[in-house]
Structure 1
Amino acid sequence: MDRLRNANPFSKRETHSRESIITYKVLTILTWLLSVAVTVYYVFFQPETIVVDPKHHHEPQPIWYQNRTWQTGFTLNKIITSLYWLGLFLFQIAYIGHLFSSNADHVNAACAVGSHFIVNNLLHVGWVLLFSRGHFVWSEVLLILNFFNLSSLYFRHNTYPRAIHTPVVSGPLAWTFVAIYWNGAIIVHSPDSLVARIFANVFVWSFLAYGAFFIIIYKDYTMGFNLSVLSAALGVGQFLHHAIAFQWIFAFTIMAVLFILTLIIAVPAWTGRDIPFARSADAERAPLLADD
C-alpha cells in the first residue's frame, strides 16, 4: 500500500523528495506556459475565417468568435472574462514562486497541489483547442473532468495560504464551474426557444448557491469574489445581447449578493476580527486566514 501511495501523484503527503520537487518545477512551468500561450493565441491572434455553416465547420476560430456566434442564456462578456483569465494567470506566477522558495513549508505546500494544477493546465489547453474548433461536446467533457479534478483538490487541500489557494484552487474551480454552463448551453443552442430561456433563468441561480456554499461553510471569500466577477461577466454579456430579459437582472443580483457575502467574510479576516456566523470548530477548515 505504501508503494502504491508513493507512486500516486495525487496522494496527500507532507514532504516531497528532491527529485519530485524538480519534476513539479519543470512540469508546472511547462504546462503553465502552454496554457497561457494557447489561451492568448486563441483570444487575440487566431484570425477569423468566413463560416457559412458554423454547425459543420471545425476550422479553429477565436474563443470570442464562438461566444459571439453561439448566443445563449450563458453568453459571457469577453472583456471581463479575459481580464479574469489575465488576473488568474498573473496570480499563478506567485504560486510558481512558492516552488522555488527557500522555505521548505512553502515548497511542500506548492508540491502538494502540483499534480492537480498540472492536470488543470492540460485540460484547459484541451478545452481551448476543442472549443475553438466547435467540438463543444468533447470540450464539455474536458470541463467536467477538470471540475472533478479541481473539486477533489479543493476538498483535500483547502487550508493553504491565499497565494496558493486563489490561483490554483478557487480561481480555476470558479471558472470551470461557470464554463460548464457556458459550454453546455452552446451544445443545446436554441436562442428562440422559450424553454431554453426558462432553463437558463433557473440554472443561473446555481451560481449563487455554489458560491454561498463555499462562503458560509468554508469561509472562503475568494470563491465568492471569483464567482461575483464571473456573474458580472454573465450580466454584461446578457445585457448587451438582449436588454429586455430576466437573465442579466438575475446575474447582476447574484453578483451583488455574492459580493456582499464576500465582504462580510473578507473584512473581518483582513482585520483579524471574528468572522460572522463562524463556529470555533470551523477555524481549522477556513483556508484563507493566513497569508504566509
Structure 2
Amino acid sequence: MTDYNPFSRREEYSSRAITAHRVLTPITYLIFLITAAYYTFNSPPDGKHHLPGHSIWGQNEATPFAQNSVITSIYWIVLLVLQLVYAWALYSKDTVYLNAAANVGSHYIASNLLLFGFVHLWTRGHIWLSEFLIILNFINLSIAYFRHSAAPRLIHIGTVAGPLAWNFVALYWVGARGVHTNHLAARVVANVFIWGILAYGTFFLAAFKDYYIGYALSVLSFSTGVGQFLTKIPILQLQWIFAFAIGGLLFVLSSAVAFPEILGKNRTGGGEIVSEDRERAPLLADE
C-alpha cells in the first residue's frame, strides 16, 4: 500500500519516484514563487463580486493579526532560498540527503500547490476559501513534521519548520481578515488567542527541542507586533505589546535550547536535536 501512497515514509525510493520529485519540485517551486512575487506588487483585475482584487499586502488590512510586510517578506525570501537546498538534495549521491528530500517531497509539492491556490484566492478577496487552504496546508505540514522529523537541518528548516510556523500564524492572520471586525469583543478575543503562538512554540521547544521553529515563530510574532504598532493607535491597543512580548519570550526560550545543543551538550528527553552540529545529521532523534 505504501508503494502507492506518495506521503508514506520509505527507506529507499525507485529511480522513477526520484525522477518524479526532480520534475515536480522545480515546477511547483517556480509556480508558487512567480505567483507570490507577481501578486506582491500587482493586483488581479478579477476580484470578488467582479471588483478588482488587491495585492498580497493590499489585503493586509488593520486587524488584530495584521503583519508587517517587510519582515514577513524577508522571512519568506529566506525560506525560498533554503528550499533550494532541498532541491539540491534530490540530486545528491548521499543517501541521507536523497531519502530525506524524497520523504518530505510530496508534502513540499502539495504545500506549494496549496499556497499557489491561496495567493490567488487571497488576492481576489475569497478570504474564507483562503483560510480553508491554509488549514489544509497546516495539516499537511504538521503530518510532514511528525512523520519525517529526522530530516537534515537545512531541509527541515526550509521545507517543514519554517513553512509550518508561518502557516500557524497565517491561521490567525487570514481568519482575522475574514472576521473583519475591530469591536471590543473581537479585540479581547484576539488578545487571548495571540498567546496561542507562545503555547505552540513552547510545545515544539519542550517536546522536540526544535529551536528552529521557536525562532521562526519569534520572527513572525515581531512581524505581528510591528504590524499592529504601525496600523493602530498604540496607546489604545494591547495586541502589539503582547506580540512583542511573545516574540521576545520565544527568542529567549529558543536561545536557551539552542546554545546547549550547538555546544554539544545533550539533554535528556524524547525528540531532542542531535548534539553534533553537523550539516548532514538528522535534526531530531528518531525514537
TM-score (normalizing by structure 1): 0.91
RMSD across aligned positions (CA) = 1.7
1:112-151 matches, cutoff 5 A = 112-151=103-142
Is the Cα–Cα contact under 8 Å of residues 10 and 116 in structure 1 kept in the other structure? Answer: yes
Deviation at 1:57, TM superposition (A): 5.5
| Counterpart selection for 1:88 from 79, 83, 98 | 79
| Counterpart selection for 1:59 from 33, 52, 56 | 52
| Counterpart selection for 2:17 from 13, 20, 26 | 20
| Counterpart selection for 2:279 from 272, 277, 291 | 291
CA shift in 2, pair 1:288/1:170, >3 Å: farther
Percentage of matched positions with identical amino acids = 47
1:253-264 matches, cutoff 5 A = 253-264=245-256
CA shift in 2, pair 1:9/1:55, >3 Å: closer
1:166-245 matches, cutoff 5 A = 166-191=157-182, 193-242=183-232, 243-244=234-235, 245=237
List runs of 5+ in structure 1 lacking aligned partners: none
Distance in 1, Cα, partners of 2:172 & 2:208 = 24
Distance in 2, Cα, partners of 1:112 & 1:183 = 29
Distance in 2, Cα, partners of 1:59 & 1:287 = 48
1:158-173 matches, cutoff 5 A = 158-173=149-164
- Residue type matched to 1:168 in 2? T
- Residue type matched to 1:20 in 2? A
Is the Cα–Cα contact under 8 Å of residues 58 and 134 in structure 1 kept in the other structure? Answer: no
| Counterpart selection for 1:5 from 2, 6, 14 | 2
CA shift in 2, pair 1:7/1:58, >3 Å: farther
- Residue type matched to 2:38 in 1? Y
Distance in 2, Cα, partners of 1:142 & 1:229 = 23
Please give the per-residue CA displacement for 1:152-174, whole angstroms capped at 9, x wherever unaligned: 11111112211111011100100
Is the Cα–Cα contact under 8 Å of residues 44 and 52 in structure 2 kept in the other structure? Answer: no
| Counterpart selection for 2:261 from 263, 266, 269 | 269
Match of 1:225, SS? helix
Deviation at 1:273, TM superposition (A): 1.8
Deviation at 1:55, TM superposition (A): 7.6
Distance in 1, Cα, partners of 2:242 & 2:107 = 33
Deviation at 1:60, TM superposition (A): 3.1
Is the Cα–Cα contact under 8 Å of residues 75 and 237 in structure 1 kept in the other structure? Answer: yes
TM-score (normalizing by structure 2): 0.92
Match of 1:113, SS? helix
Distance in 1, Cα, partners of 2:256 & 2:158 = 22
Distance in 2, Cα, partners of 1:186 & 1:99 = 38
Is the Cα–Cα contact under 8 Å of residues 158 and 286 in structure 1 kept in the other structure? Answer: no
Match of 2:181, SS? coil
- Residue type matched to 2:224 in 1? L
Please give the per-residue CA displacement for 1:182-207, whole angstroms capped at 9, x wherever unaligned: 0000111112x001100110000000
> What is the number of equivalent residue pairs in this alignment?
276
Match of 1:76, SS? coil
- Residue type matched to 2:7 in 1? F
List runs of 5+ in structure 2 lacking aligned partners: 281-287
Distance in 2, Cα, partners of 1:124 & 1:48 = 16
Match of 2:155, SS? helix
Q: Give the equivalent residue in structure 1 for 2:238.
A: 246
Deviation at 1:291, TM superposition (A): 2.1
